[in-house]
Amino acid sequence: MAEQGATPQPCAVVQSVCGAFHHFNLARELHRRGYLKAIYSTFPWQRLKRENLPHGLVHTFPWLQTPQVVLSRWWDIPAGVNREINWRVAVTLDAWVERHLPPCDVFVGISGVGLKTGRRAQSRGAKYVCDRGSAHIRAQDQILKEEYARWGVPHKVVVDPRIIAREEAEYAQADAITVPSEFARRSFVEMGVPPEKLHKIPYGVELDRFRPVAEPAKDRFEVLFVGAVGLEKGVPYLLQAFAQVRHPRKRLRIVGGVRREMHEIFRRLPLEKVEFVGLVPQKQLPELMSSSHVMALPSVQDGFGMVLSQAMACGCPLITSTNTGGPDLIREGVEGFVVPIRSPEAIADRLQQLAEDPALREQMSESALAGVHGIGGWHEYGEGWVELTTELLRDAANAKDEPCTRRQRA
Q: What is the pLDDT of residue 410?
A: 31
pLDDT at 343 over 90: yes
Task: Write out pLDDT tens, residues 2-13.
Answer: 344 444 465 799
| pLDDT computed for residue 1 by the predictor | 31
Give all strands of the β-sheet with 58-60 in edge-to-edge order.
Answer: 58-60, 36-41, 13-17, 106-110, 127-131, 176-179, 198-200
| Domain pair 13-204+377-400 / 221-375, same fold | yes
Q: Which residue has the higher pLDDT, 213 or 4?
A: 213
Separation between Cα atoms, residue 24 and residue 60, nearest integer Å? 13
- pLDDT tens-digit map of 137-182: 999 999 999 999 999 988 667 899 999 999 999 999 999 999 999 9
| Short-list 286, 230, 285, CA closest to 257 | 230
Enumerate the domain spans of the chain.
13-204+377-400, 221-375
Do the beta carbons of residue 301 and residue 278 sit within 8 Å?
Answer: no
91-113 pLDDT, tens per residue? 999 999 999 999 999 999 999 99
CA distances from 383 to 329, 379, 387 (A): 18, 6, 6
CA 169/CA 196 separation, integer angstroms: 17
The residue length of the chain stands at: 410
Give the model's pLDDT for residue 407.
35
Query: How buried is residue 206: exposed, middle or buried, by Cβ count under 10 Å (0-12/13-18/19+)?
Result: middle
Query: What is the chain's mean pLDDT, rounded?
Result: 92
Residue 353 pLDDT? 98
Q: Domain 13-204+377-400 adopts which CATH fold? A: Rossmann fold (3.40.50)
**pLDDT over threshold 90, residue 254:** yes
- Top-level class of domain 221-375: alpha beta
